[in-house]
Structure 1
Amino acid sequence: MAYILFKLTCQPLTCDHCIEYIKLFKKQQKRAMAEAHSAVAFSFSITHEGWDINYDQEVLNLVWQSGLRSWKKRIARARNGIRNGVFPAHIQSLWLITAIAIGLHFTGHNVPFNLVNKVILYVPNHSTNWQIGSCFIAGLIVWLSICFSMRYTLKLLLMYKGWMYESRAPGSKISFTTKAWSVAVKILSSWNTPGLYSFQGSLPRLPVPSVHNTMTRYLRSVRPLLNDEDYIRMEKLAMEFKSTIGKKLQRYLELKSWWSTNYVSDWWEEYVYLRGRSPLMVNSNFYATDAIFQHLTNNQAARAGMIVHLLLAFRRMIERQELQPIMVQNMIPLCSWQYERAFNTVRVPGLETDKIIHYKDSNHIVVLHKGCYYKVVIYFKGRLLRPCEIQIQIEEILKSKQTPLPGEQQLAALTAWKRSNWAEIRNQYFCRGVNRVSLQLIESAAFVLSLDEEPYEFNMDQPELLDKFGRILLHGNGCNRWFDKSFTVCIGTNGRVGFNAEHTWADAPVMGHTWESVFIDEIGKYDENGNCRGTPEFSPPLPSRLNWDLTLILPKIQEAVIDATNLLNDVDLKIFVHDSYGKGFMKKSKLSPDAYIQMALQLAYYRDAKKFSLTYEASMTRLFKEGRTETVRPCTIESSAWVKAMDDPNFKASDRVTLLKKACDQHQLGYQDAMCGQGIDRHLFCLYVVSKYLEVDSPFLNEVLSEPWRLSTSQTPHGQTPKMDLKKHPNCISAGGGFGPVADDGYGVSYIIAGENLIFFHISAKKSSGVTSATRLAKNINKALADVRQMFEEHEKATQPN
């Protein structure tokens, strides 16, 4: 550029002044070329003296190690694919059957179906080698027949769901059918040690409920929400739908259920998540907190190093399929499909619809600190870095004096913006140059680590600290979480940790499993000074800054910051710790803890809103292949009758107990139906999608799908694997996590039953609503739980003999 400017402005060009500038420019150009050559691993040129070859041995070694690791993973995937393809049979059994075939053939006996002799007819000659080869082919045919027979037998067994409806309470009678079924499943499941995806080929498909059953269940679920006139109108719409367009839509849905792996999951992911145009922050992403009573170190860098290492070790277990699938009652497998996208995954914004991109491998994470982004390599010299080595990298970042580039500190606000706005900016300004390279590094990272500049505090005597903890994880300051990534790990200055997770790629139980595995594995991994145990074998690669050129989009970033700030300032979040009693008392009352809490929530909400509302409780459908969630509707005819009785002085304690048990039984039935693929809402949702594809209008479906969920609830799973043993590690209790409200005038309530005498409730609402208050609902939940306990105590006192 300097040369061109001088060429335009100097007359004549051959003046001594210009010649000096030209010489200077050429020297700078040679220096730049030399630097460029040194930056690449290999360069080749031909000079007057001969060939000139330059290479960087260290960089080439890194390339070699990366390629070697990639090929090892491909071989491991192929090996796991074969193992999973023949499961529950064992691949070693092939050699046994082949040996038997060879023995039978050479001793003059026939292999079943005379397979060896039939194969020999097609070989060039009858030499010993060809006979052995024929025996191997015959053995392979027999072996594959046995493998697939076992596999489809297991699949048929797993289709049976009668066990779900039989009580497992002590003393309950179990049917002969279920006993025989359980013995058969245990035999086949224990035949071979399963890998993470071993059961995928044996899991049944999610069944499509009949339109009649769905209409019946739906009408029953809305009865307590509608007056007589509205109910008659809704009943008429439902019957009209069932007898007309419903039949046609059902046929298309049944066809899809046979053609696709799961008739719900792909549409659910696309239309509920990816096509949503609202910001991910608060509206979609969820969070989870630390093991609240377990504070192993105050050292931020040490905790970061340990958490990063354990998460990457968990990723390695997923990739190698060394992670055991979760088994219900140590017998019935849950679908493991969602684990595949836990790491190296990002939700990329689009103008009309987003897309999920999963990278097969990633050897780095991205760290965000004081508004600066750093690439941190986590594989070096052929292995995963140790916690103490990662701690050194984190310490380098924490002591760095670098300052953010213009706009860099607020850059992540774009991921908290409306999806179409972020997509437009991304397509225009992040498709080339340094912005493209840096964005690619973030999106392809294993995950993002945010080193915050404030402590995450918790004190049972100061509940407002836990509220702040939840807000930090749910939205931060709107600019310090990369909301598009599968998850962002957040670490406070005092070593406390949490995460913010994107919801499209999986549901909360998968992140819950990952999180509790990390908490258990980090026990005993810090020294007396709070540092990671171990000695570094070498100096790990230093973190490298990501570069940005954001000058042209600074106004847009500021718009995103304003919108994100307005959104997070509207969040009303309360984390309520209930320690008066827990599941111990609930079990003593002979009620399901989840049903017990859901009924208490119904009572609390009725007292808060002075009415009943459509209530959402998430249930899983992972007993089926690629299953995700189904909705349980806790507001039932039975629950509303009990709630009204609780505030009616004309009812005795015994009457209320009877009504509560009926309500809990009905809730359990709804939960069982949902888990067995006989829910209401996913079926109606898919019927609605088909109607839109066919461009057929249905007044019934339009009304059903527009109903607001003013009370959205979910139980955070705890102790999904045997590793989480609270008797051995009583302080390894997470406070759970939460999410934002689904409706503008509603509540989001997540709860975790943490041990025998502790429950955490994460209650969210919007300040702008005017009719909701998270603090008020927390007080009503506390009173509801106290009233239920008092009801049982009064009932027990009344039934005791004088």
Structure 2
Amino acid sequence: MAEAHQAVAFQFTVTPDGIDLQLCHEALRQIYLSGLHSWKKRFIRFKNGIMTGVYPGSPSGLLVVVVGYMSSTKYALADPTLGLTAKLGAHIPISRYMSEESQRVVGGVLVGTGLWVSIIFIMRNALKCLLSWHGWMHARHGQVSWKTRFWMVFVKLFSGRKPMLYSFQNSLPRLPVPAVKDTTRRYLESARPLMDDEEFKRMEGLAKDFEKTLGPKLQWYLKLKSWWASNYVSDWWEEYIYLRGRGPIMVNSNYYAMDFLYVFPTNLQAARAGNAIHAIMLYRRNLDRAQIKPIYILENRVPLCSAQWERMFNTSRVPGEETAQYEGMFNSTRVPGVDTDTIQHVNESKHIVVYHRGRYYKVWMFYDGRLLLPREIEQQMERILADKSEPLPGEEMLAALTAGDRVPWANARKAHFSKGKNKQALDTIEKAAFFVTLDETEQRFDAEKPVQSLDSYAKSLLHGKCYDRWFDKSFNLIVFKNGTMGLNAEHSWADAPIIGHLWEHVLSMDPMKLGYTETGHCRGELHPSLPGPQRLQWDIAVECQNTIASSLKVAKALADDVDSHIFPFDSFGKGLIKKCRTSPDAFIQIALQLAHFRDKGKFCLTYEASMTRLFREGRTETVRSCTMETCAFVRSMMSDNTRELRMKLLKAAAEKHQQMYRKAMTGKGIDRHLFCLYVVSKYLGVDSPFLKEVLSEPWRLSTSQTPLQQLELFDLVKHPEYVSSGGGFGPVADDGYGVSYIIVGENLINFHISSKLSSPETDSHRFGSNIKRAMLEILGLFQLNNTVNK
């Protein structure tokens, strides 16, 4: 595919007179421009490191403090060194080398710099103390107390000016370790609605015994870790929950994000890929320069941790071998000889890898010292689509290795991809900025068959053909034949809101800022001398091909078992829910409990993801949404009770849910603490019947809200059609449901439901119908005059 004369910097021939070198000036020019680009990037990173390191101070602030200090001491006829020069002069002969005036200037600069550093230290720690207060969370929605406003003024005062993405990292508080007594009490409270009296009494005894005997010992180690590490949970969570897993990450871990629901900017696959790839690369450039604004909540005053952004690009999960393991929930606790997957991240990558019709291509993103423009990227995609060559033996289904079990992939990687052209090609994929699939199928929302079209679209993004996505990459951009697109993201490096922030940027840039011509192409001109994509070369042995086939069989069985159902709920949205003076999230979670009870006739342990990014390196915590209060409300809806009683129980359930959500966000959750206590017990080689039983309980209803984080990018009042479909994930339990939902604007909520076809207890479409019914029934209790579409 690539023009040979542009891929080689020089040629040489042997003649009777010696060796004749023929330098290619264009290639040398590209080398020069590439080096210039790299040095510019290094300088920007160095500068950003300084700016972030001294925040909330700044180099200009240093100048102001030093000059101001020197001027004030000179005006007051005071010694700017505060007597320091005289004390040093008694031991060091300073006067021999410096004049008295020079000593005053140097000493004043040093003391002024020390004063500046002290101011930064005070401001940073004051801000950390301020951010450790979470009383603002307890106010009713839309109401801010005078105490909170007073606090917000001080947060603003100590937050400095013009923060960059990572500016607040050193000012964020550490995640606190809850008391063992509080955690066991909250656990028993959450478990009560799911146990009969005898079972609960037994579990209560186990909890009390743990609280008095083993718990304090394990807690001591966690306290020690919390003082030493930035976050006592995140590294263990990443390792044991994600990287130690030996099963497929496809469906079980990776998740997806969808395109616009009703807008189709172009039908040209190459053009849509051109704009999307360019928008993603612009985002990466802003990320490298730390020019992405920090993420805030509460009127843009309270910053969230930005650590997860660091590995968004140039990142791949690398499989590790399994040589030993423990039994239990975390069946591979670290002991000598146990391997694990690792996350490989490189600082710089100037290319992407594109998959189409069984072939892999390396596409450079820079030429002439600049980023390729959308039309130029489209040109590269068109060249790939026009290529009629056939896949090499074993190449077409190679990515099935990333979709199957981790151990066969790790063994195959070591045996067949550790040298030669295979290693070079694999390195190209793993070190690419991200992975792109030009899919041969057509997916999109079809108004004539909305259910089938969205279900097919979701399954394609979640697993595709099981061999046409590189599931180990931080994320895959998937562009379908008809121009629709989406993402598939690996979970270990970050949580969904991080990739969601990128996706919002891409969707806002694509049709509204970059745009298309009348014929559907990207705007701009073709490049007359742009080198084409480079086809990756493989030499895949028969033995490796057998492993690929085996992994594909495992992956296809998993994919074929997924029952997906995606539906836009447009009967009402958060606009009407707010009129009910109820939290939209609490409203939906209670509706899910009512729907689940109707679906299965019983309650179950429910997982709702909440973030802990108010703390440094925070990730997630669990809100156990199935509470005594919610169960009481659900039972009232299933029996002959008055509206007044149901409203009273609904209000209590919503308030309880909000209370638990606040606790999860502020470091007072249950599950991460119990998880870390369990890990410590395994390190110490002790067994806890209480922890073992708690952590083996299945989450038969796993839920998550996809937040819209950059509302300013979408004017849904003027352009209500520009709504995202959100995203989803696979089922967590074999006999359970996975539910993701996104609240879009005032009048739409998109639901993504998954379960397993092999389970006789679940049916995603049946559950979807129950969700619709539950939402309408709960709204009906409020007797609003607004017309609701049923």
Summarize the alignment of residues 708-727 of structure 1 with structure 2, pairs less than 5 Å apart. Answer: 708-727=698-717
The letter for the 1-side match of 2:30 is L
State the match for 2:50 in structure 1. 82
1:464 to 441, 452, 455: 452
1:59 to 21, 27, 38: 27
Asked whether the 8 Å contact 1:653–1:795 carries over to 2, the reply is no
Q: 1:475 & 1:723 partners in 2: Cα distance?
A: 29
1:242 to 211, 227, 236: 211
State the match for 2:497 in structure 1. 509
Task: Tell whether 2:578 aligns with 1:587.
Answer: yes
Deviates more, 1:518-527 or 1:566-575: 518-527
Aligned pair in 2 of structure 1 residues 303, 768: CA closer, same or farther (>3 Å)?
same
State the match for 2:287 in structure 1. 318
SS in 2 for 1:288: strand
State the match for 2:356 in structure 1. 369
State the match for 1:97 in structure 2. 65
State the match for 1:654 in structure 2. 644
Aligned pair in 2 of structure 1 residues 37, 794: CA closer, same or farther (>3 Å)?
closer
Aligned pair in 2 of structure 1 residues 663, 696: CA closer, same or farther (>3 Å)?
same
Aligned pair in 2 of structure 1 residues 619, 38: CA closer, same or farther (>3 Å)?
closer
The letter for the 2-side match of 1:426 is R
The letter for the 1-side match of 2:617 is E
1:227 to 180, 196, 215: 196
SS in 1 for 2:782: helix
Aligned pair in 2 of structure 1 residues 795, 241: CA closer, same or farther (>3 Å)?
farther
State the match for 1:398 in structure 2. 385
Aligned pair in 2 of structure 1 residues 54, 280: CA closer, same or farther (>3 Å)?
same
Deviates more, 1:689-698 or 1:726-735: 726-735
2:145 to 165, 174, 180: 174
Q: Name the larger-Rg structure.
A: 1
The letter for the 2-side match of 1:351 is E
State the match for 2:131 in structure 1. 158
Asked whether the 8 Å contact 1:279–1:418 carries over to 2, the reply is yes
How big is each residue's C-alpha offset from its partner over 1:663-720, in whole Å with a ceiling of 9 and x where there is no partner?
Answer: 0100000000000000000000000000000001000000000000000000011144
Task: Tell whether 2:535 aligns with 1:545.
Answer: yes
Q: 2:435 & 2:493 partners in 1: Cα distance?
A: 16
Residue 630 of structure 1 and its aligned partner are, at CA, apart by: 0.2
Task: Tell whether 2:577 aligns with 1:607.
Answer: no
Residue 763 of structure 1 and its aligned partner are, at CA, apart by: 0.6
Summarize the alignment of residues 520-559 of structure 1 with structure 2, pairs less than 5 Å apart. Answer: 520-522=508-510, 523-524=512-513, 525-536=515-526, 538-552=528-542, 553-559=544-550
2:560 to 543, 549, 569: 569
The letter for the 2-side match of 1:161 is H
SS in 1 for 2:781: helix
The letter for the 2-side match of 1:157 is L
Deviates more, 1:751-760 or 1:463-472: 751-760
Q: 2:678 & 2:306 partners in 1: Cα distance?
A: 28
Asked whether the 8 Å contact 1:434–1:549 carries over to 2, the reply is yes
Task: Tell whether 2:308 aligns with 1:338.
Answer: yes
Residue 132 of structure 1 and its aligned partner are, at CA, apart by: 2.7
Asked whether the 8 Å contact 1:86–1:148 carries over to 2, the reply is no
Question: Mind listing any 5+ residue stretches in structure 2 that lack a counterpart?
Answer: 323-339
Please give the TM-score of this superposition, normalised by the length of structure 1.
Answer: 0.91
Question: Mind listing any 5+ residue stretches in structure 1 that lack a counterpart?
Answer: 1-34, 798-802
Asked whether the 8 Å contact 1:309–1:390 carries over to 2, the reply is yes
Asked whether the 8 Å contact 1:101–1:139 carries over to 2, the reply is yes
1:498 to 464, 480, 486: 486
Task: Tell whether 2:202 aligns with 1:211.
Answer: no
SS in 1 for 2:539: coil
Asked whether the 8 Å contact 2:478–2:488 carries over to 1, the reply is yes
Aligned pair in 2 of structure 1 residues 118, 437: CA closer, same or farther (>3 Å)?
farther
State the match for 2:326 in structure 1. none
Deviates more, 1:632-641 or 1:527-536: 527-536
State the match for 1:739 in structure 2. 729
State the match for 1:435 in structure 2. 422
State the match for 2:467 in structure 1. 479
Task: Tell whether 2:71 aligns with 1:71.
Answer: no
Q: 1:70 & 1:729 partners in 2: Cα distance?
A: 40
The letter for the 2-side match of 1:273 is Y
Aligned pair in 2 of structure 1 residues 173, 58: CA closer, same or farther (>3 Å)?
closer
Q: 1:786 & 1:631 partners in 2: Cα distance?
A: 27
The letter for the 2-side match of 1:555 is N
SS in 2 for 1:114: coil
How big is each residue's C-alpha offset from its partner over 1:185-209, in whole Å with a ceiling of 9 and x where there is no partner?
Answer: 01222x3100010000100100000
State the match for 1:596 in structure 2. 587
Q: 2:521 & 2:253 partners in 1: Cα distance?
A: 36
SS in 2 for 1:760: strand
State the match for 1:617 in structure 2. 608
State the match for 2:780 in structure 1. 790
State the match for 2:696 in structure 1. 706
State the match for 1:149 in structure 2. 122
Asked whether the 8 Å contact 1:654–1:795 carries over to 2, the reply is no
State the match for 1:135 in structure 2. 108
Asked whether the 8 Å contact 1:104–1:111 carries over to 2, the reply is no
State the match for 1:23 in structure 2. none
State the match for 2:664 in structure 1. 674
SS in 2 for 1:201: helix
How big is each residue's C-alpha offset from its partner over 1:521-554, in whole Å with a ceiling of 9 and x where there is no partner?
Answer: 2214212221111234653221110011113222
How big is each residue's C-alpha offset from its partner over 1:581-610, in whole Å with a ceiling of 9 and x where there is no partner?
Answer: 111111111100000000000000011111
Asked whether the 8 Å contact 2:136–2:144 carries over to 1, the reply is no
Q: Identity, % of aligned pairs?
A: 52
Q: 1:636 & 1:38 partners in 2: Cα distance?
A: 66
How big is each residue's C-alpha offset from its partner over 1:3-38, in whole Å with a ceiling of 9 and x where there is no partner?
Answer: xxxxxxxxxxxxxxxxxxxxxxxxxxxxxxxx9999
Aligned pair in 2 of structure 1 residues 428, 796: CA closer, same or farther (>3 Å)?
closer
Residue 175 of structure 1 and its aligned partner are, at CA, apart by: 4.9
Residue 69 of structure 1 and its aligned partner are, at CA, apart by: 2.2
Q: 1:551 & 1:131 partners in 2: Cα distance?
A: 75
Residue 265 of structure 1 and its aligned partner are, at CA, apart by: 0.2
State the match for 1:293 in structure 2. 262
1:753 to 719, 743, 748: 743
Residue 45 of structure 1 and its aligned partner are, at CA, apart by: 11
SS in 1 for 2:444: coil
Aligned pair in 2 of structure 1 residues 37, 715: CA closer, same or farther (>3 Å)?
closer
The letter for the 1-side match of 2:304 is L
Deviates more, 1:528-537 or 1:84-93: 528-537
Residue 461 of structure 1 and its aligned partner are, at CA, apart by: 3.8
Aligned pair in 2 of structure 1 residues 108, 117: CA closer, same or farther (>3 Å)?
farther
State the match for 1:519 in structure 2. 507
Asked whether the 8 Å contact 1:716–1:750 carries over to 2, the reply is yes
SS in 2 for 1:568: helix
SS in 2 for 1:213: helix
Q: 1:300 & 1:50 partners in 2: Cα distance?
A: 52
How big is each residue's C-alpha offset from its partner over 1:632-680, in whole Å with a ceiling of 9 and x where there is no partner?
Answer: 000000000000000111x111110110110010000000000000000
The letter for the 1-side match of 2:308 is Q
State the match for 1:385 in structure 2. 372
SS in 2 for 1:457: coil
Q: 1:540 & 1:655 partners in 2: Cα distance?
A: 71
Residue 281 of structure 1 and its aligned partner are, at CA, apart by: 0.7
